Every structure is written in structure tokens, then in C-alpha cells.
Chains A and B, each alone.
Chain A
Amino acid sequence: MFVGFLQGAFATHDVFPEQTGGAYVGADICSECHEDKFDQILPSRHAQMSDLRTPFAKRGCETCHGAGEVHAASEGEDLTGVVVYGKGSNVPVEKQNKLCLSCHQDTGRMHWQGSAHEAADVACTSCHLIHQPDGVLHKAKESDVCTSCHTKVRADMHKASAHPIRQGQITCTDCHSPHGAVGPKALTAWTVNQNCYQCHAEKRGPFLWEHEPVTEECTVCHTPHGSNNPALLQRRGPMLCQQCHQVMNGTSHATHINEKYDWSGGAGSRRFLVGANCMNCHSQVHGSNHPSGAMLQR
């Protein structure tokens, strides 16, 4: 069995689409019945015959859909050798994608194999339109496509605090690569923090006085897609801060760090709840470069 595995791992599979539908008949024949599809694809990048990489510079429609002689001879009845893409496809997703990758397996998609979308059997045509202008490439439409599956993100981006995704000012692909990437969660940068620093470079430092969750990962305190709390925080202060800051009673600052800041507390404790709560004084939570900023107050 192990030998079989090895043989399989080093196997060379057939070229796709296999030429099982007779001879190639040319796009003119296709256009006689599929005029609407033909008209749609003509102005697209796929139909640029001057670019030798495009399907139309090779075998026209049959580059992707397979040889059409049998299909044409049967006046469309016989689908032998013809590949249909997208909803109602007559071939597995993997094979559909393989055809696309035969041209698009460039550096932008070199991490596709093993990516989350590949593992979930997402077809290229689940997101992309091949014949028509491709909506997912349109900045303002992209998030519609992504959130049709990532429904929690759709809810998140309507929360009180959110990145301007629903306003169309940033897109999912500003941070993520749906075709796979070196970063976690298909982030285009290597790490979460390197990703965030692309727009929030002021947080990069290094600072004289560092705050460990900041250097560790921004998501320790923040949630990226939307939150009920200001500044995309996981929770509100001072409770958020108290999840990691409790000191020995009787030691310096114990009373104000450990205190139970409930709403029934007196006016004296309200100053730790309102305004910016802990950040009223410890405003430099992302790090301080002030020689007197050891407590992140300068």
C-alpha cells in the first residue's frame, strides 16, 4: 500500500480537459449557439489574442471547455468531452480548478494547494465570473462575494466598531489572500502584527517600554472585523485590562488595579470606568518611548 502511495504521489495525471469530445471545432461554431456567452467574453482579458497566455490565443472556447465536435454534431445534446463550470458542473471542483490553474498557477496562487479554500473544495467559479466583468475584482463589490460564505464577518462589519468594509473603503483582500498565503488566516503578511502595521505603522516600534500583548499579537485585545466595543476591542476596559492585571493586595497600586469596578461603586471609582477608563492615565498601551513611560503613562 505504501508503494501505491508513493506511486500516487509521483503520478502524472492526464491533461485536462481530456480530448474526448472529438476534434476541436473552433470558436465560430461555439458562437452559433452560445452567442450570449460569446458576446460576454469577447471584451474580457480572456479573449485577448495578442496575449499568447489567454484561452482565446490557444483554442478559443475549447481551451477551457474541451473539444466540441461531438457536442456540436449532436446540436448540444451530447456533452461528451465538454466541461461545464460552476453551478451544475459535470466535473469535480478539483478538476475545474486545475484548468484555471493551468494558466493562473503564478506566484499569486502558488499557495493555493493546501489553502483553506482549496481544502473546502471552493471552485474558482464560486467567486469569479469568467465570461462577464468579474464582480469580485471590483473594490466595492468584493466583500459581498466573500461574506456570502463568511456570514459572521458580514454581521461583524455591521457592529458599532468596525473597519470601513461595509462602506467599501477597505476590502477583504487588503488583508487576506483568498488563494492562500504565507500568513495565518490567509493573511498576506507573514504574521498578524505585520499585517496590521501596513496601515498602523505607528504601532510598530520597537518602543522603549513594550506591552507584551501588543508585541505578541494585536488580536489578544482587538477583534479585526467588528465589535460592540470601541476601537474593535474584545471587551471594555477596565475589565479587559483586569483580565491580565491583578497585583498582590497590600502592594503598591493594588487598590486601583484590583478594585471591583462595578456600576454601584462610588464617584471615586467612576473615573476608572468613564472617559478612556485605564487609558485615562495609561494611555500608551501600545508602547511608550518616553524615558518616564515605564507604566505606559508617558
Chain B
Amino acid sequence: MKRIQAGHVTLGLLLATGAAFPAHAEEKGAAAEESKSAVAEEIEEAAALVTGTIEYGLGYVSDDSYGFGRFTGLEEEGLFLVGGIDAEFRPGRPDYLHFHARDLGLDSRWLLFEYGEQGKFETHLEYNQLPSFKMDSAQTPYQGVGTNTLTVAPGASPTSLLPLKLETERRRVSGGFSLFSGANWKTSLDVRHETKEGTDWIGGALLATAGGGGGGAGGGIGRTYAVILPEPVDQTTTQMDASLEYSNKRTQWKMNFHTSLFNNANSSLRWEDPGFAVSGGASLPAEGQLALAPDNRFFQLSFSGATSITDTTRFTGAWSVGLMKQDDAFLPYGIDGSAAATAALPRDSLDGEVRVYNARLGLTSRPLKPLRLKAKYSYDQRDNRTPQAAYDYDRLDSGRTPTVAAVNEPLSYRKHKLDLDANYRFSSSWSGAVGYEYRNTDRENSDVDKSREHIGTASLRWRPLDQLDGVLRLTKSEREASSYEAELTNQNPLLRKYNLTDRDQTRTGILVNYVPVDTVNIGLSADMIKDEYTESALGLAETDGKSYNLDISFYPSEDLQLHAFYTYDRMDSQQLGSDAPATTLYRVDYEDRVDTIGLGAEIKNVWKRWDLAVNYRYSMGEGDISHTDIIPTGSPTAFPTLSNDLHHLELSASYDLSKKMQLKVAALYEELTTEDWVVDGVSPYPDNRLLTLGNDSEDYDAWAFVIAVRHEF
């Protein structure tokens, strides 16, 4: 079976097999005596069946487009094979064996084997491939793409570039088993091994010996020359979970040991000066070197449990301790052989260690039938024990060191959260809830050492009729930072980092569901959220988000289903900045809005043998950014509007060739039109101090067609 999916109903789904599960029964429960007879016979009859489907066929993609096939593997014009299987059978009672496969002809293929005996053991083996086609119109002066050493290709320069495609692919193999001991115990082991390979991008900068402007003492922004580099990606992540679980009607608990081992085959990326036109008699380092993501390890032991103290009161508790380790060998300060580059490092490697602690406690109770109470406490700690040292670093491989060595500042925090909720059902048509949440955070090496937040919530639910249901929810919160002392000595004291500082938040939600007749469902929702950063004279000052949605479904018969929806989503924000000289102040207004429309229809048994379906999605996104001088006052200056218009259409038809054979045809169309000032009309070399990838904005329109035969067996 071929799976081409996008939106809510996919070609793959339209081609999908109706998974029929074979069954059988050999042993009977003692309590089943009175209902076995004919039932047991039918079950045993079903057990003899091996059910499933197999699909095969051909597909065709109309155009080359990385955007169209980004995560599906439909990026290339031409034919592709359609193949898929859903087989569910039991080779011997009471075992079962399932085999599923999708997208066998594409780079997004997926296969799953499951073998087990219900209630006794389960095993699985899975393979999953996930491509990510990022950019097909990039350019670079480098050769050696895919390796960690980039050299300028013969004849290449910032004004003479080579084509470059950026893509990565993940391949994951996972397997595991679970053993059930009696009715209460379960032991499991799951292992996942993923490789990620390909080429991504990363920025690299070099510092010239002189020239340019600005920067002040020891600065050098005017002498910094940046190039977007092709980054080699060759990583593996192995994760393992071993767990022991116990469940009975009253008490459940699970103990789990999690391991994550990340390995990066490339610890560094070295590149040559691409040939920047350096002015003022200055020169650039011949090469630069970046550190890429270091290998890391993570181990976590966790326990979570719950017990019903009574039928109406339940206690939950959970705890974990984790250890993050990173000890990759350091690269040298620089690579140009200068004293700055070859100076002795304070350590050979970081010996980084972060201990992670998490805990949860919860109590839910229903002391009266209409009253539900909940109390929850959570604790999260990041205890960074990485050793500190002073590093006399080499500025962008220039051979120059700063006047003051930098000392690494490991970041730690402790977060406490207490949540209390009460929900009361006044009558069959009215219920209400109130809640209070308290958050307390302590941080180390942060601008804000302590912050507290109080959150109050109230909601009302009204159900005057079986057909009409409405919910109104209000949330108000106040976050207070105990003090604000910038870690960086030159940070503007008027700045407040928005995730740390004082904030007033108001959130309102409305939800209405109406079923005027059994065949029609209408849903309306609105969600408004406003954040005000009350102490922020500079930085993010305010955000205002709104989301409205209307859904209508119409099911006149089992053979006809129609649906439509519209979603309006908008997020506005204001931030303040102070340009040089110190007397200026400006505001940035940021507006993001997206309208999404969906229409769909599914018609079955047309002329007795046809099933038809159509689905259409339209997403229209726009973003406006403008700057306005406040001191001195000035007129707004706006960026060109950012826009992303996506049309997505799926058509499918299935024709019954026989009782167990269908012919399926399907089509997928997608069109994306983008306007993006970051790339539109921007040359690869827009400034003699920046060399970009020179890619185009993402515009495409393409079709994929599939014709396949589906057999049931």
C-alpha cells in the first residue's frame, strides 16, 4: 500500500486497508461459560482466517520539488513504486503475528513486525525512514561537502558558486519485548537506534586583522566576515528503556531505566576563507574551525505509581533522577598556529555533568458525587555540576584574545509547582471549576535568581440541552521576579528577558458545541491570550494572541460525510529597543496571522462499486513587522509582508473489482507560494562581509498520482 499523506485524510489512508483483526479462542475463561456456545464457535471460525491486504501499483510525481516531498520522499519527478502490506494472522494458537508496511517505494518507508500472545508476551521490530529535504537551490563555493573539511573549489569564490542541495535522512530501527507474568506484572525492554545523515547548514565567521568600522575596544563587528556553510550530519542516537510494571485494580506502578547515547561522527567543521573582498588593507584568517555537537550520554531512573485509596480518592507519585554527561575532547582555541590559538587549555575536556531530578505528587478525590478535587505538586531540578574555568579564547581564529578571559557559567534551576483544582456539578446542565497554581523557580547564574507566579483559573460549563454544550474559561496569572541583576556587565539595565521577568497574563477560552439534528455537528471555539511584561522598559513588552475556529460536520447517511472548518489565528507582539545614541527608543510591532480553511467529503457506494473522497486545505499565513521611533518620534517603517500560501488537495476513488479486490486511484496536489524578504531578491553575496546560501524562496506546485490494486486475503 502506498501512503501519501497530508492534511487529515491522506491518499495513503484512502488507499489503506481496513485492518481486520483475525481472532481465535482456545482457552476459555471460567466466567465465559454462559456466553460461549455460538460465540466461541464464531470466534474459532474467525481464528482460522488469515486476514490482511496487499497493495501494489505505480505512482508519478509531476515535478521536482524539495518542498512537495520534504518529509515524504516525493521530491523527485518521475515514477515510483507503490507497495504496502497489512497482514494479521496467527501461525498457531494463541500466538499472533502482524506485519505492516507502508511507502515501500519511497524514502519514507515504514515496516513493523509484531509477534505475541495476547496477555502473555509481545514483541516488535520496526523500521522507519524519515527524509528531510531542506533546500534544493542553495549555492556554495566549497568542495568537500558532507565532510568536516571544506575547501574552496577551484574557480569558486563568493561571486562564483556551485550548486548545493541540503537534505538529511533519519533511519530508525527499534525493537523490544514485553512479558506478562500473571495478570499483574509486565517486564519490557525497548531499544531504538537512529542514524541521521546528510547535509545541513551552519554559520561560520572569521575576524579580519583590521578595517571595517564599529566595535569599540576589542570589538570587531565591522571586521567580521560570515559564511553559511554546508554542515556534515552523521549522527547516531541509541535509546533504551527497561521497565518493570505492576498493575492491579487498585495500584499500579512502573520502574524504568532510560539510556540515551548520542554520537556525532563529526566533532568539528573546518572551512577556508571563501575569498571575501576584505577592504582597508586587512586580511582574514585562512581558515576557521567550529565545534559541532559533542557526544553525550543520559541515564535516568524513574519510578511512578498510583493507588486508589478508595474508589473515590487516588494518590499518584512519581520520581526520577537523571544524569547528563558530556566529555568530548576540546578542540584547540584556534588553528592558525598563533600563540592565542595554541595556548594551553585549562582542561582537556569539559567533564560536563548535569544531574536532573523530577518529582510529582498528586491527590484526586470525589468526596461528594458532584465534587471533584485535585491537588498536584511537581518539582524539577537541573543541577549543573560542570566544572568552571577561565578560557582565554581566540577571537574567530584571528589570533587575538580578549582582554578578560571568559569563565563558563553552568546553569541550574529548581522549579516547584503546586496546583489545586475543584470542580463542582451544580446540576445536569451546569458545572463549574476553580483552580489555583503557584510556581516558584530558583536559578543560578541567571539574571533572575527567584521568580514566583500565581495563577487563578475559573471555568463554567453549561449544557442546557443534550444538543448544546458550552464552556467558558478564564485564567489570570501574575509572575514576579524577586530581583533582576544582569549576569552580563554590559547588558542594558532597562532590559528584561521575557521568560524571566514580571508578567501579567490573561487568558480567555470559549467553546460551544451544537448538534441541531443528529446529522449535523457545529463547533465554535475562541482562545485569547494576552501577556504584559510590566517591568520591561526594553525587550518584549506585550503579546496578544487570538485563535477562533468554526467546524461544521454533516453526516446525512453512512455513505456520505461532509465537513468544513475555518481557523483564524493571530499573534501580535510589541518589543522595545534602544538604538545608539542612548537617547533613542524604538518599538517593533510584529504581527503573525494565519487563516486556515478545510473542506472535505467522503461518498461511499456510488453506483454500488465506487467510494470517493476529496479533501482540501488552504493555509494563508502572513507576517508583518514594522519599526517605529518613539524617542525621537518617527513614522513606522515596515518590512515587506511575509507570506506563505499553501493549497493542499487530495482526491481518491476506489472501485470494487470484486469482493476482495479494489482498484484505487488517488491524486495529491500541493501549491506553496512564499514571499520572504530574507531571500527574495537577495543575492548570495549581499554584502562583502556575508556569503549566504543564495537559495530562492520556497515556491512549488506539484501533483502526485497513484494507481494501485488492493487485494484482501
Interface on A for B, CB 8 Å cutoff?
Answer: 4-13, 24, 26-28, 31, 38, 42-45, 47-54, 56-62, 102, 105-107, 110-111, 113-114, 119, 133, 138-141, 143-144, 147-148, 151-152, 154-156, 158-160, 164, 166-169, 182, 190-191, 194, 197-198, 201-210, 212-213, 215-217, 220, 227-229, 235-236, 239, 242-256, 258-260, 262-264, 267-268, 270-271, 273-277, 279-284, 286, 288-294, 297-298
Contact of B6 with A166 in the complex, beta carbons under 8 Å: yes
B289 at the A interface (CB under 8 A): yes
Judging by beta carbons under 8 Å apart, are B689 and A271 in contact?
A: yes
A248-B492, A248-B493 given; name 12 further pairs at CB < 8 Å. Answer: A48-B94, A152-B527, A216-B499, A228-B621, A228-B622, A239-B575, A242-B575, A253-B219, A262-B639, A267-B686, A274-B692, A281-B226
- Across-interface contacts of B372 in A (CB, < 8 A): 119
CA separation between A151 and B617, bound complex, in Å?
13
Q: Which residue of B lies closest to A273 (CB)?
A: B678
Chain B, residue nearest A132 (CB): B18
Interface of A is mostly: loop
- B376 interface residue, CB < 8 Å from A? yes
A44: chain B residues at CB < 8 Å are: 21, 23
Query: Does B514 sit at the interface, judged by CB under 8 A?
Result: no
Chain A residues near B108: list those with CB within 8 A: 167, 169
Ordered by A's residue number, 12 sampled pairs between the chains whose C-beta atoms are within 8 Å are A8-B365, A11-B312, A42-B23, A42-B42, A49-B25, A133-B21, A168-B12, A205-B324, A207-B294, A242-B575, A255-B214, A258-B492
Q: Which of B5, B252, B333 contacts A105 (CB 8 A)?
A: B252
User: Interface stretch among B57-65, B403-411, B654-662?
Assistant: B403-411
Binary interface encoding of chain B residues 288-328 relative to chain A, with 1 for a CB under 8 A from any of its CBs, else 0: 01110110101000101110011111101010101010101
A264 to B629, CA, bound (A): 13
User: Is the CB–CB distance between A49 and B216 below 8 Å?
Assistant: no
Chain B, Cβ-Cβ closest to A261: B627
- A182 near B260 with CB under 8 A, answer no
Instruction: State whether A60 touches B391 (Cβ < 8 A).
Output: no
What is the distance, in angstroms, from A285's C-beta to the closest C-beta of chain B? 10
Q: Which chain B residues lie closer than 8 Å to A8 at the CB level?
A: 312, 365-369, 371
Among B27-35, B142-150, B151-159, B477-485, which stretch is in contact with chain A?
B27-35
Contacting residue for A62 out of B35, B567, B698, CB 8 A: B35
Contact A253 B12 (CB under 8 A): no
Is the CB–CB distance between B32 and A210 below 8 Å? Answer: no
B 1-12 binary contact with A (CB < 8 Å = 1; else 0): 001011111101
Interface centre among B393, B623, B626, B677 (most CB of A within 10 A): B393
Q: Is the CB of B580 within 8 A of A209?
A: no
Check: B682 CB closer than 8 A to any chain A CB. yes
Residues of chain A within 8 A (CB-CB) of B642 are 228, 236
Cβ-defined contact, A206 with B410, below 8 A:
yes
Q: A210-B409, A228-B594, A246-B578 are in contact. Are A51 and B119 (CB under 8 A)?
A: yes
CB proximity of B228 to chain A, nearest CB, Å? 6
Which residues on B sit within 8 Å (CB–CB) of A293?
291, 393
User: Known: A28-B35, A159-B594, A244-B495. Is A5-B368 also a contact (CB below 8 A)?
Assistant: yes
- Indicate which residue in A31, A51, A167 contacts B39 across the interface (CB closer than 8 Å): A31
* Cβ-defined contact, A206 with B386, below 8 A: yes
Bound Cα distance A262, B174 (Å): 49
User: A119-B421, A182-B360, A204-B262 known; A243 and B540 CB under 8 Å?
Assistant: yes
Chain A residues with CB below 8 A from B204, complex form: 283
Q: In the complex, A56→B3 CA distance in Å?
A: 34
A119 is contacted by which of B219, B290, B423, B640 (Cβ under 8 Å)?
Answer: B423
Q: Does B490 contact A (CB under 8 A)?
A: yes
Cβ of B590 under 8 Å from chain A: yes
A6 and B366 alpha carbons, distance in the complex (Å): 10
Task: Indicate which residue in B368, B380, B617, B678 contacts A4 across the interface (CB closer than 8 Å).
Answer: B368
Inter-chain CA distance A279–B320, complex, in Å, is 35
Q: How far is the CB of A151 from chain B (nearest CB, A)?
A: 4
Cα distance A115–B7 in the bound complex, in angstroms: 28
When A160-B621, A228-B642 are in contact, do A114 and B228 touch as well, CB less than 8 Å? no
B93 at the A interface (CB under 8 A): yes
Q: Is B605 positioned at the interface, with any CB of A under 8 Å from its CB?
A: no
B164 within 8 A of A: no
Q: Which of B13, B497, B594 contacts A140 (CB 8 A)?
A: B13
Contact between chains at A244 and B498 (CB < 8 Å): yes
- B66 touches A (CB below 8 Å): no
Name the residue on B nearest A120 (C-beta). Answer: B471
> Which residues of the other chain, A, contact B410 by a CB distance below 8 angstroms?
206, 210
Residues of B within 8 A of A155 (CB): 547, 549, 567, 569, 594, 596, 619
Chain A residue at minimal CB-CB distance from B214: A255
Contact between B228 and A133 (Cβ–Cβ < 8 Å)?
Answer: no
Given contact pairs A58-B29, A152-B567, A281 touches B205 in the complex (Cβ within 8 A)? yes
Most buried by B among A5, A106, A210, A248: A248
Q: Within the complex, what minimum Cβ distance (angstroms) separates B159 from chain A?
A: 16
What's the Cα separation between A181 and B219 when bound, in Å? 49
Min CB gap B687→A, angstroms: 4
Q: A228-B623, A244-B539, A258-B580 are in contact. Are A151 and B262 (CB under 8 A)?
A: no
Q: What 7 A-B pairs come out closest when comparing CB atoms?
A: A57-B29, A8-B367, A60-B35, A49-B25, A283-B203, A290-B291, A292-B393
- 8 Å CB contact of B21 from A13, A45, A160, A267: A45
Measured CA separation A243–B500 after assembly (Å): 12
Residues of chain A contacted by B94 (CB below 8 angstroms): 48, 50-51
Cβ contact within 8 Å between B637 and A106: no
Q: Judging by beta carbons under 8 Å apart, are B575 and A243 in contact?
A: yes
Are B298 and A197 in contact (CB-based, < 8 A)?
yes
Q: What's the nearest-Cβ distance from chain A to residue B264, in Å?
A: 7
Chain B residues closer than 8 Å to A10, beta-carbon distance: 309-310, 312-313
CB pair B298–A204 under 8 Å, yes or no, is yes
Chain A residues, Cβ within 8 Å of B333: 291-292
Task: Choose one: B51, B393, B619; the contact of A43 (CB below 8 Å).
Answer: B51
B137 at the interface (CB under 8 A from A): no
Taken together as a complex, chains A and B put the C-alpha atoms of A273 and B334 apart, in Å, by 28
B693 within 8 A of A: yes
The reply to whether the CB of B358 lies closer than 8 angstroms to some CB of chain A is: yes
Q: Known contacts A114-B362, A152-B527, A167-B6; decide if A254 and B580 are in contact (CB<8 Å).
A: yes
- Residue on A with the closest CB to B636? A262
Contact B575 A262 (CB under 8 A): no
Per the bound structure, the CA–CA distance linking A190 and B258 in Å amounts to: 12
What residue in chain B is nearest A227 (Cβ atoms)?
A: B592
Chain B residues with CB under 8 A of A168: 3, 5-6, 10, 12
Contact B8 A107 (CB under 8 A): no
The stretch of B75-83, B581-589, B606-614, B702-710 in contact with A is: B581-589
| Chain A hits for B581, CB < 8 A | 249
Contact B365 A9 (CB under 8 A): yes
Of residues A8, A113, A156, which shows the largest number of chain B Cβ atoms within 10 Å of its Cβ?
A: A113
Nearest CB on A from B340, distance (A): 9
What chain A residues lie within 8 Å of B621 (beta carbons)? 159-160, 228
Nearest B-chain residue to A152, judged by Cβ: B547
B140 lies within 8 A of chain A by Cβ: no
B177 in the interface (beta carbon within 8 A): no
Complex Cα gap A133–B19 (Å): 6
The interface residues of chain B lying within 8 Å CB-to-CB of A242 are 539, 575, 577, 588
Interchain CB contact under 8 A, B38 and A206: no
Tell me if B330 is interfacial: C-beta within 8 Å of chain A: yes
Query: Does B374 count as interface, using CB distance less than 8 angstroms?
Result: yes
A53 pairs with B119, CB closer than 8 A: yes
Smallest CB separation, A297 vs chain B (Å):
6
How far is A294 from B260 in the complex, measured between Cα atoms in Å?
27
A283 touches B39 (CB 8 A): no
